[in-house]
Every structure is written in structure tokens, then in C-alpha cells.
Amino acid sequence: MSKASTSFVLDSSVALAWCFVDEKAVYPQSVLDSLTVGNVAIVPNLWHLEVANIFLVSERRKRCTNAEVVQWLGFLLALPIQEDTETSKKAWGDTLHLGRSHGLSVYDASYLELALRVGVEIATLDVDLRKAAVKAGVKVFTP
């Protein structure tokens, strides 16, 4: 991904807030709005698994229906979201180190590693990830 394009790393917490009515808020909506005006989100290659797992757990807990998940997946697939192909190669090195040094899970550290490597901002609702990003010199995406 070229830095010349307007891009940012998209944490699953923001994308999931677009789907669940009880998580609607100004920040996630403004991130979504930015995608409709030419911005591109990039995600680590675990993003799809993370989102799918939240949907599956939510179905099991009766928080949503299978039909809603199908609708949300179609919605997410239509957005300009690009998957990073280097995430796995960084897992046992840079990502693990970032997790250790910032007290993050490896999953959360993968978003930070991607933002650092590509040189873009990060869109997240995760408080610990936001703090780690700022500490590491990564700006939080502000649409």
C-alpha cells in the first residue's frame, strides 16, 4: 500500500461497531463515512477471522441472527478494505515484541505493527491499543 493514498489501519472494534446497533457512536460512524470519500482501510490478515468469530459468538449468545450476520458480511465486503499479506511473517518477531513492550495481545499488536510498518494512522476503539499506538508514535485516525 502506497503512503500516497489516504489509508489507515482498521481495527475490528471499529468495524464491529458499524454492525451492532448498541455500539453505534460518532467515531466509528465518522471512520465509515471516510471510507465513502476515497479512503482505504488496511487490515492484518487475521481481521477476517476476528470479525467472523465475534459474529459467531454473538449469534450463539442471541445478540444477533444468522440473517443479520449475512447482511453485515455483505456490507463489510463492499467496503474498500485491503488485507495485508505480511502480517504472518511479522508475528514471531516485530508483532510479538510490540505485544510484550506495550502489554497487548499479539492480535492487537498486529494492528500496531501494521500501522508502524506501513506508516499510517490507526482507527480503533480499543483503549489499550490507542495508548500503545500513541506511545509508539502512531497517530489515531481522525476522519
- For the cut 70, the answer to whether the pLDDT of residue 4 exceeds it is no
44 within some domain: yes
105 within some domain: yes
Q: What is the mean pLDDT of residues 72-96?
A: 96
Please tell me the predicted confidence (pLDDT) of residue 6: 67
2 within some domain: no
1 within some domain: no
Please tell me the predicted confidence (pLDDT) of residue 5: 53
- For the cut 90, the answer to whether the pLDDT of residue 36 exceeds it is no
27 within some domain: yes
Provide the pLDDT confidence category of residue 3 given band limits of 50, 70 and 90.
very low
141 within some domain: no
- Number of structural domains (the chain) is 1
Determine the structural domain holding residue 31 and report its residue range: 7-136
- Grid cell listed for 126: 480499543
Cα–Cα nearest to 85, from 108, 120, 114 = 114
Q: What is the mean pLDDT of residues 57-73?
A: 96
CATH of the domain at 18: 3.40.50.1010
Residue 105, classified by CB atoms within 10 Å of its CB into exposed (0-12), middle (13-18) or buried (19+), is exposed
143 within some domain: no
The contacts of residue 141 (CB under 8 Å, 6+ apart) are: 8, 9, 31, 34, 121, 122, 123
**Percentage, residues of the chain above pLDDT 90:** 89
Q: What is the mean pLDDT of residues 78-89?
A: 95
Please tell me the predicted confidence (pLDDT) of residue 78: 95
